[in-house]
């Protein structure tokens, strides 16, 4: 019996037939694939967000470290300046540096910020400072850093990294001091100071904090 052409025209397209006859298992697989694709996109977005946040935290830490380093250096220079000014006032008052006699007048004197001369600036030493004038007021150290501490009976002034400062005095009275950083240069003045810096090594000048620069 021949098929009615009108019935053939009313049949749905082949792809529509296939979709209508798609099994529940295949439909479940398609849904799972869609969910997996969505999760992959979400995971990619979360990874990018985490990466951006990590970069922001790193940048913030770098900025904070630079600020703290700059602040520490400023405080370090301020303390050195206080010591230099106090030593200059002592020299004006007593016509000499706060150093035990005798002093070699042929060379300049380099020493650390500890001992009898620091006590003399604080007005705590009678032989060098018989008038007991307090030339400087210094804070107490915290955790062995940034200030005064006592080692036995000795007064010690330490920098932000726990090391005594280096101080140079013009004891040969030529109003100049050989630059310890560069032997070919001369510093004009009577008193200079420097800190060993974060690495606590005075020979590595890159990180040393110096009163002349």
In a domain, residue 96? The reply is: yes
Task: Give which of 187, 138, 181, 136 is closest to 159, Cα–Cα.
Answer: 138
Residue 155 lies in domain:
71-210
Q: How confident is the model at residue 65 (pLDDT cuts 50, 70, 90)?
A: very low
Task: Check residue 68 and give its pLDDT.
Answer: 47
Q: What pLDDT digit, counting tens, does each position of 99-137 carry?
A: 998 999 899 999 999 999 999 999 999 999 999 999 999
- Decide which of 129 and 26 is more confident: 129
Question: Between the CA of residue 109 and those of 126, 149, 191, what are the distances in Å?
Answer: 22, 23, 10
- The number of distinct structural domains making up the chain is 1
In a domain, residue 39? The reply is: no
Task: Check residue 7 and give its pLDDT.
Answer: 57
In a domain, residue 19? The reply is: no
Task: Check residue 36 and give its pLDDT.
Answer: 73
In a domain, residue 202? The reply is: yes
- Decide which of 26 and 94 is more confident: 94
In a domain, residue 57? The reply is: no
In a domain, residue 95? The reply is: yes
CA atoms of 142 and 160, how far apart (whole Å):
9
In a domain, residue 61? The reply is: no
In a domain, residue 194? The reply is: yes
Q: What pLDDT digit, counting tens, does each position of 34-63 carry?
A: 777 777 777 777 888 877 877 766 665 655
CA atoms of 146 and 157, how far apart (whole Å):
8
Angle (CA) 28 33 36, round 5° = 125
Other Cβ atoms less than 10 A from the Cβ of 98: the count is 21
């Amino acid at each position: 019996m021949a098929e009615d052409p009108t019935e053939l025209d009313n049949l749905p397209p082949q792809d529509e037939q296939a979709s209508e006859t798609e099994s529940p298992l295949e439909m479940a697989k398609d849904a799972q694939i869609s969910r997996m694709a969505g999760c992959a996109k979400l995971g990619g977005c979360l990874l990018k967000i985490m990466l951006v946040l990590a970069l922001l935290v790193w940048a913030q830490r770098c900025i904070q470290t630079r600020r703290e380093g700059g602040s520490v250096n400023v405080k370090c220079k301020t303390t050195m300046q206080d010591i230099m000014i106090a030593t200059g006032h002592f020299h004006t008052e007593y016509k000499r540096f706060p150093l035990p006699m005798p002093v070699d007048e042929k060379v300049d004197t380099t020493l650390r910020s500890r001992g009898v001369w620091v006590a003399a600036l604080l007005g705590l030493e009678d032989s060098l400072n018989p008038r007991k004038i307090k030339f400087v007021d210094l804070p107490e150290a915290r955790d062995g850093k940034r200030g005064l501490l006592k080692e036995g009976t000795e007064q010690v002034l330490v920098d932000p990294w726990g090391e005594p400062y280096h101080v140079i005095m013009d004891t040969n009275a030529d109003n100049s001091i050989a630059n310890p950083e560069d032997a070919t240069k001369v510093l004009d003045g009577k008193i200079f100071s420097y800190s060993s810096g974060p690495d606590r090594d005075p020979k590595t000048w890159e990180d040393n904090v110096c009163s002349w620069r």
